[in-house]
């Protein structure tokens, strides 16, 4: 039976990167004997202008019937900031119970010049994965705003913390190196609660090398030494995960190289590039499609259990980079290529 992929093109550069995502999934599925069908579903700023809702009911209904979702970035400068974020991106994650936000951080060979870090610091590579809690914390959407004060409740529940930590321990077990939890337990009760749960779980997993790091210190240390000897699986809460994922993207050269997967291990998961809709470069044909293409690899690995096809996609990305192709965000002063040149090169290598 065919696997059904819901496709949200999103706004700005969304349609440009998503079309390369679809082509990648098609090519990989041909290689791997998978049958895929795609259904485009309007969600986002453009959907808001057209249908009066960021996430129209029909779209939600269609997405419920899918096996996985490929989502482009969303947000438009002509719509007040926050509307698309809350009613689109966060609503999707919440609705589908996607409590894991997986953000691999990998420096591809040849992209050292695109990183702001010295070559010396990159010689062992960079290859870790951020496991970001994706359903509560400061994103619980509890709180309020008046003229005189505002609150955001940093909600951590036993169930919410346990399930994300269990996922992180499982991943750390698979990768076999170490697990670092990032929090702010010296100040926040919510972090202290998290750390206690983490420490308890660490005790029952003596085979995994576990430690905790305060978030400010993590931000410093990862710049001083981003190597795989130090960082492998990093688990953290929603807000800290958001922030450290962008810092990590800079280390590996660009947000344009940063994929993500919003996972509900028992439900409908959704992959998306970490970057936004970048309206300033939309329609120019220069956006980096690799974050979306690499997100499709995550779909193969985590939604369809096809590690073989994920590796093929990732190897094809390395192949395109080895040819010297660089979109402007990773060109580091060298000649840049277009979105399509990069996408075509990946497909050539996906054989």
Tokens standing for 19?
Answer: 């079309």
Select from ligand IPM, Mn ion, none the partner in contact with residue 9, using the beta carbon and a kind-dependent cut-off of 5 to 8 Å: none
User: Who contacts 154 (Cβ-Cβ below 8 Å, separation ≥6)?
Assistant: 137, 138, 140, 188, 190, 239
Which residue lies nearer to Mn ion by CB, 160 or 241? 241
Binding status of residue 251 toward ligand IPM by CB under 6 A? no
Nearer to ligand IPM, 66 or 274 (CB): 274
Sole binder of ligand IPM in the list 31, 62, 90, 121 (CB under 6 A): 90
Site string for Mn ion, 190-209 (x = CB under 5 A): --------------------
- Which window, 82-90, 177-185, 195-203, 221-229, contacts ligand IPM (CB under 6 A)? 82-90
Q: Which of 11, 99, 106, 184 is catalytic?
A: 184
Identify the sign of the CA torsion 78, 82, 86, 92: positive
**Cβ-based neighbours of 191, under 8 Å, separated by 6 or more:** 183, 184, 185, 237
From the number of C-beta atoms within 10 Å of its C-beta (0-12, 13-18, 19+), residue 174 rates as exposed
Residue nearest to ligand IPM (CB): 85
Please state the closest distance from residue 246 (CB atom) to Mn ion, in A: 6
Residue ranges of alpha helices (H) inside 39-157 are: 45-51, 57-64, 83-84, 91-95, 119-122
Helix 14-32 / helix 307-322 crossing angle, nearest 10 deg: 120
3-state SS assignment for residue 156 = coil
Per CB under 6 A, the list member of 215, 270, 274, 346 interacting with ligand IPM is 274
11, 232, 237, 242: which is the annotated catalytic residue?
242
Of 138, 258, 241, the closest CA to residue 188 belongs to: 138
DSSP 216-260: HHHHHHHHH---TTT-SEEEE-HHHHHHHHHHHHHHTT-GGG-EE
DSSP character at residue 272: E
Among 89, 210, 255, 270, binds ligand IPM (CB under 6 A): 89
Q: Which residues in the 217-276 window bind Mn ion by CB under 5 A? A: 242
Q: Among residues 90 and 192, whose Cβ is nearest to ligand IPM?
A: 90
- 11, 71, 106, 139: the catalytic one is 139
- The one of ligand IPM, Mn ion, none whose footprint includes residue 90, by CB under 5 to 8 A per kind, is ligand IPM
Interface residue with ligand IPM, options 85, 87, 127, 152 (CB under 6 A): 85
Nearest to 193 by CA among 143, 134, 136, 263: 136
> Taking CB within 5 to 8 Å according to partner kind, which of Mn ion, ligand IPM, none is near residue 310?
none
Q: Which of 58, 225, 246, 308 is catalytic?
A: 246
Residue 139 among the catalytic residues = yes
334 contact partners, CB below 8 Å, separation of at least 6: 113, 326
In the bound state with ligand IPM, the residue whose beta carbon lies nearer, of 136 and 242, is 242
**And the tokens for 123?**
């010689």
**Active-site residue set:** 139, 184, 216, 242, 246
- Using CB under 5 A, list all residues that contact Mn ion: 242
């Amino acid at each position: 039976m065919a696997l059904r992929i819901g496709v949200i093109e999103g706004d700005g550069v969304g349609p440009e990167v998503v079309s390369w995502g679809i082509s990648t999934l098609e090519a990989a599925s041909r290689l791997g004997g998978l049958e895929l069908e795609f259904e485009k579903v309007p969600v986002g700023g453009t959907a808001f202008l057209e249908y009066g809702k960021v996430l129209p009911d029909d779209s939600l209904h269609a997405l419920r019937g899918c096996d996985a979702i490929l989502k482009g970035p969303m947000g438009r400068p002509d719509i007040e900031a926050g509307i698309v974020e809350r009613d689109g991106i966060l609503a999707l994650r919440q609705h589908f119970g996607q409590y894991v936000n997986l953000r691999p951080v990998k420096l591809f060979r040849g992209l050292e010049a695109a990183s702001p870090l010295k070559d010396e610091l990159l010689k062992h590579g960079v290859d870790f994965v951020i496991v970001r809690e994706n359903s509560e914390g400061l994103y619980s959407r509890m709180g309020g705003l008046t003229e005189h004060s505002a609150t955001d409740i940093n909600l951590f529940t036993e169930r919410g913390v346990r399930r994300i930590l269990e996922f992180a321990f499982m991943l750390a077990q698979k990768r076999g190196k170490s697990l670092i939890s990032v929090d702010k337990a010296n100040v926040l009760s919510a972090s202290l609660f998290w750390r206690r749960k983490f420490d308890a779980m660490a005790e029952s997993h003596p085979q995994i090398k576990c430690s905790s790091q305060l978030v400010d210190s993590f931000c410093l240390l990862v710049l001083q030494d981003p190597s795989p000897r130090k960082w492998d699986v990093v688990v953290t809460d929603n807000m800290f995960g958001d922030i450290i994922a962008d810092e990590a993207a800079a280390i590996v050269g660009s947000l344009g190289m940063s994929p993500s997967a919003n996972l509900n291990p028992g439900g409908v998961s959704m992959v998306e590039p970490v970057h936004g809709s970048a309206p300033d470069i939309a329609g120019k044909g220069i956006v980096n499609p690799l974050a979306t293409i690499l997100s499709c690899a995550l779909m193969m690995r985590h939604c369809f259990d096809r590690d073989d096809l994920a590796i093929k996609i990732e190897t094809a990305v390395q192949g395109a980079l080895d040819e010297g192709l660089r979109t402007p965000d990773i060109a580091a002063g060298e000649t840049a290529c277009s979105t399509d040149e990069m996408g075509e090169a990946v497909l050539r290598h996906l054989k």
